[in-house]
Amino acid sequence: MGVLNVTPDSFSDGGHWLDVHLAVAHGLAMVEAGADLVDVGGESTRPGAQRVAPDEELSRVMPVIEGLLERGVVVSIDTMWAATARAAVEAGAVIVNDVSGGLADPAMLETVARLGTPYVAMHWRGHSDTMQELSDYDDVVSEVVSELAERRQAAIDAGIDPRALVLDPGLGFAKEPSHNWALLRQFDRLLALGHPVLVGASRKRFLGELLAEGGVPRAMSGRDVATDAVTALAAAAGAWCVRVHDVAGSRDAVRVAAAWLRG
Ligand code: PMM
């Protein structure tokens, strides 16, 4: 899954793809590089980011989604708003990717159930302005697994087909680096929930901190090789999907993992 943030402020690619033509061209380039789908989002979730209203979000994402669909690209919509999810799916997007797992907009789960699309429910504890204060865990893996199981139940209760449900540990969302590594280390416990698992590690802060020199985190531009390593390990551990910026590197990493598993 290639990342396409149509935002002025995303931590990784904010401000790069505000021009519709550039955004569509970048989406096509990611497909060319091997992405099976492009995840279009119009709201930054970086720590401290402000909310974006549905109208503003729609005006950012819809022209890009339409441009990609016209060119045959498979699109997912990264949104916490039910109205945006509905408009994107009605235009032809095939997956709703909700970083709040249905917690941000009370209408989301029922809307997705009615639309009948696959749904990615990510582990989330609160909006970006508060999430750094929400990273208290006694046992991060058990708590994330049980909170994801609650979201799964809420989705099923709302009418979402369990076979259409994808779960995501939400790396970096109300999580310190050690929490992210614990979740990756115990990937089998996420898989044991019985759903495909999506991993979004690409260029995140915990990779920058891992690669820090002299206490200075590695810059975003230097995190793709580490991202590719996470991709290889996550794919070998059984991940269904990785959400990444540098598609070519992750594509190679997925091939390595597949060959390793076949070997
Ligand atoms: N991370 C970001 C945005 N959307 N969606 C899912 N399912 N999982 C993630 O980990 C995730 C996401 C934030 O990263 P970005 O600013 O690079 O898009």
CA–CA dist 112, 89 (Å, integer): 9
Mean pLDDT, the chain, whole residue set: 96
Q: Which of 88, 70, 69 is nearest to 78 (CA)?
A: 88
Among residues of the chain, what percentage have pLDDT more than 70?
A: 98
Cα–Cα distance measured from residue 149 to residue 155, given in angstroms and rounded to the nearest whole number: 10
Ligand 1 centroid from CA 50, angstroms: 16
The beta-carbon contacts of 182-186 under 8 Å, at least 24 apart in sequence, are: 182/140, 182/141, 183/140, 183/141, 183/144, 184/230, 184/233, 184/234, 184/237, 186/141
Span 154-182, mean pLDDT? 98
- The pTM of this model reads 0.96
What mean pLDDT is predicted for residues 107-127? 97
Expressed in angstroms and rounded, the spacing between residue 200 Cα and the centre of ligand 1 is 6
Mutation probe of ligand 1 site: the residue of 9, 40, 99, 230 with most atoms within 8 A of C-beta:
99
At residue 102, the pLDDT reads: 98
Amino acid identity for residue 18 in this structure = L
Least confident interval from 16-30, 140-154, 204-218, 220-234: 16-30
Q: For residue range 58-68, what is the model confidence (pLDDT) as tens digits?
A: 999 999 999 99
* Spatial separation of the C-alpha atoms in residues 73 and 253, rounded to whole Å: 22
Output the pLDDT for position 11. 66
Domain count of the fold of the chain: 1
Q: Which residue has the tokens 């590695």?
A: 218
Q: Is 246 in the pocket of ligand 1 (CB under 6 A)?
A: no
Check: CB of residue 158 under 8 Å from CB of residue 165: no
Q: In which domain, by residue range, is 45 found?
A: 1-259
Whichever domain contains 247, its CATH number is 3.20.20.20
Q: Tell the residue number behind the tokens 């909700």, with chain if given.
A: 98
Identify which of 62, 66, 118, 115 has the alpha carbon closest to the alpha carbon of residue 86: 115
pLDDT higher than 80, residue 157: yes
The pLDDT of residue 48 is above 80: no
pLDDT in tens, 208-242: 999 999 999 999 999 999 999 999 999 999 999 99
d(CA 148, CA 155): 10
CA–centroid distance, residue 9 to ligand 1 (Å): 13
Place of tokens 């799916």: 89
Predicted confidence at residue 45, as pLDDT, reads: 87
Average the pLDDT over 37-55 and give the result: 91
